[in-house]
Amino acid sequence: MTSASEVSLAGLAARYGLEVEGLTLLSDAAEGDGPVYAGERPDGRAVILKVTRPMAPEGVARLRQQTAFVQYLFDGGAPVAEPLPSDRGALVESVDAEQGLVSAVLYARAPGRPPRVGDPRTADRALLRRWGAAMGRMHALTRGYDGGTSALPTWVEEHAGFGRWSGDDPPVQAAWMALRPAVAALPQSADRYGLVHNDLHAHNLLVEDERLTVIDFDVCAQHWFTAEIATALFSVLWAAAAGEDAHVAEAARAFLGPFLEGYASEATLPPQWEEDLPLFLRYRERLLYIVFSHTWGGEPGPWQRDWLARTRRRVLDDAPALFDPRHSN
């Protein structure tokens, strides 16, 4: 007997000229993101088919605007995976399912794997420059973006959402909500704020030789450019911070040197980024604590338990940012 999900997949795949038998399941997240498949079009081109879980029409509208933004970035020369239209010329296809609309987006398969950055003091500086240049290129392009954004979240919706998610832990929720006034007071001028990837850590990069490709725009939102720089920096510092590494500032400088060199080759750094970076490092730390305290489950491993315990203390103690570029010499 064929399941409803199999019928949806077959119908969506056919709209892109694909057959289900030729698809290989790459990932199937238990919550949130839907399954991702690898396949090959009749012309031999390797592709990735991302399929959503059933969602309301508002979710489909969000997906259409996400994909249109990625197409805009690709057309502007940003190193992002190329969205490919269906046989009907649509970037997003949807079919009715029992619990809502199931949608799909097809991308050209980018070569490579997520890089293992490790300690930024010994990391590949050329890779860090390319990472920064990719972000800078996208920020430069988003300043001129006039496509639809009405269905995409702003930082306000993001902050409120994590506030609700942390409601089962009132002290953490209070610490998270305490950041809102400082963030809300920041200017939202076009040289500081716009539509961004919003999760641009190393696991959302694919690297092969000199080629770097940015993937996974599922949480793109309107946010501050410095917040996105903080996301990248925090992604290479958090392991050191979990161990209370005395060389966190040294590691941060080792990362920011080549990363910002690459960024500046494509875009002007946001005004007052040095002043704003500590705030957004604290924002990212608290956001990730909320995420991982829920998603690591009831029995996290030793490293996860240690990180959660140390980070919880930092959050509840309102500890300073892991790094402040104004006081790091």
CATH number for the domain harbouring residue 35: 3.30.200.20
Higher pLDDT, 21 or 2: 21
Say if 23 falls within a structural domain: yes
CATH number at residue 323: 3.90.1200.10
Q: Are 22 and 164 part of one and the same domain?
A: no
Q: Are 167 and 236 part of one and the same domain?
A: yes
Cα separation values, 122 from 44, 116, 250, 253, 255, Å: 39, 11, 11, 12, 10
Q: What is the pLDDT of residues 208-256, one digit of tens each?
A: 999 999 999 999 999 999 999 999 999 998 766 654 456 788 889 999 9
- What is the rounded CA–CA span in Å between residue 282 and residue 234? 9
Q: Are 157 and 41 part of one and the same domain?
A: no
* pLDDT band, residue 97 (cuts 50/70/90): confident
Domain that holds residue 79: 4-108
Q: Are 175 and 224 part of one and the same domain?
A: yes
Q: Are 144 and 99 part of one and the same domain?
A: no
Q: Domain tally for the chain? A: 2
This model's pTM is above 0.75: yes
User: Residue 143: phi, psi to the nearest 5?
Assistant: -65, -20
Q: What is the pLDDT of residues 26-80, one digit of tens each?
A: 987 545 578 999 999 999 999 999 999 999 999 999 999 999 999 999 999 999 9
- What is the rounded CA–CA span in Å between residue 14 and residue 252? 48
- What is the rounded CA–CA span in Å between residue 250 and residue 239? 14
For the four alpha carbons of 191, 162, 301 and 113, in that order, the dihedral sign comes to: negative
Give yes or no for residue 4 having a pLDDT over 50: no
Average pLDDT over residues 140-148: 96
Say if 113 falls within a structural domain: no
Say if 117 falls within a structural domain: no
Sorted by sequence, the CB contacts under 8 Å of residue 115 that are 6+ apart come out as 124, 127, 202, 205, 207
Cβ neighbours around 51 below 10 Å, total: 21
